[in-house]
Structure 1
Amino acid sequence: MLEGRNAVVTGAAQGIGLEIAKVFCANGARVVLGDRDGDAARAAAEELAAAGGSAVGVSCDVTAPEEVDELVRTCVDTYGALDVFVNNAGVTRDATLRKMTLDDFETVVDVHLKGTWLGTRAASLVMREQGRGAIVNISSLSGKVGFVGQTNYSAAKAGVVGLTKAAAKELAHLGVRVNAVQPGLIRTAMTEAMRKDIWDAKEREVPLQRAGEPVEVANAVLFLASDLSSYITGTVIEVTGGRGM
């Protein structure tokens, strides 16, 4: 589905980001993995290359404009073009309003919202000249319904949706599509660290009665990155098992 395409995925050293990179490689894409942990990104890229994919890993702090620009340049210089950009990098600093520090709030908003804006801007500057491209932003169900202890995360992820729709309107006439994915409860190392009673309660909220797997998010991103979604822009796909509908 992505044969001959060149893609960048941020926050790709582990979790959902790494799964997206794996699915992209399995579908023919050449992938640049960006992550704040450069060593982990390079190790992940080596793993993908050993499995037959084409991938390179680089260090990138998505809140630093010059590093995001360099991430895009790495893809263009290495592979010749930039066809897909996935803004996936994220952090959490959960706490109630009373206990959340300003630093906790600003860190989460900077990584998720500012980072997505910087990635979208940098990618679009290349894609508009090419006359084609697909940008996929990772939001969250938390940005739709809001979750206790996540005023920072919910605000940032809701902002990603607004950014996606505004950017889609700006870039559509240039041949660049911008869409978002909102995962719900997904089985990752972070979520599996929850207490079992809390995890079980959250699963019961899902109409499909189970948590999602990272590959199920990656497959939705693959769809939006591919020509199967050629007439889709400014949309949000929920990968939630029906939770929050």
Structure 2
Amino acid sequence: MKVLVCIKQVPDMESRFKANSSGNWYDEADLAFRMNEYDEYAVEQAVQLREQLGDAADVTVLSIGPDRVVEALKKALAMGCDRGVHVQDPAVSLKDPWQIASIIATYAKDKGFDLIFTGMQSQDRASAQVGVAVAEQLGYSCATTLVGFSFADGVVTAKRELEGGLKGVVKLRTPALVTCQLGLNVPRYPTLPNIMKAKKKEIQAIPVVDILKEEALAATASVYPPARKGGGIVLEGDLNDMASQLIGILKEKTAVVR
């Protein structure tokens, strides 16, 4: 069984973000990067499936981006993936979700992958579109926001998180794609022996110009921080005085009249 798991490297969400000089994405200087949280669940589930199937399964991990994404690939290899694919693209942030999905689908279309795992969404762009767009382009069945997974006899049983805290169960025949959510599993911490083994595993580098054929359907015009909220006002004193103060404030700030 051939498995593909797709990961993205994102900034640590505790970082202080500011717009870049072009104003269309964040400035990456001085940011610490890590594997996208939802993608860690995807990697863990792919590795668990490999452990279930033994030598009958083979797991490839793919990431798109500049040279720094190799570190995320190495972590996935240390978690148990068999080989890595680095689609080299220093301008990945300028591509829309459909283009990213097209890169993945173009790479995967002639590889015979039975199952593809992705994160539910990335923590920086949070479009939640790439996984389902890959499935659409490949013609795979698809289930999103998984919080439960099992596989037997060519059938995926997926437990999905729905609105209102409900759970839904669907069954998919392979080839299929699933997107992974918090609660699906607990990603393992790579051990030192596995980190050393990962150094010997293959990471294939492919320039993005060799794969991407799609034009952008959308572009990020600008990014900016949320507007700062004004400070609150604490009213003190007699109840009647506070009521009068409140009415005065409402008259000044709004169109409220007596």
Q: Per chain length, whose mean CA-contact separation is higher, i.e. which structure has more relative contact order (CA < 8 Å, sep 6+)?
A: 2
Structure showing the higher strand proportion among its residues: 2
Q: Could you state the TM-score of these two structures normalised by the residue count of structure 1?
A: 0.40
Bigger radius of gyration: 2
Q: Could you state the TM-score of these two structures normalised by the residue count of structure 2?
A: 0.38
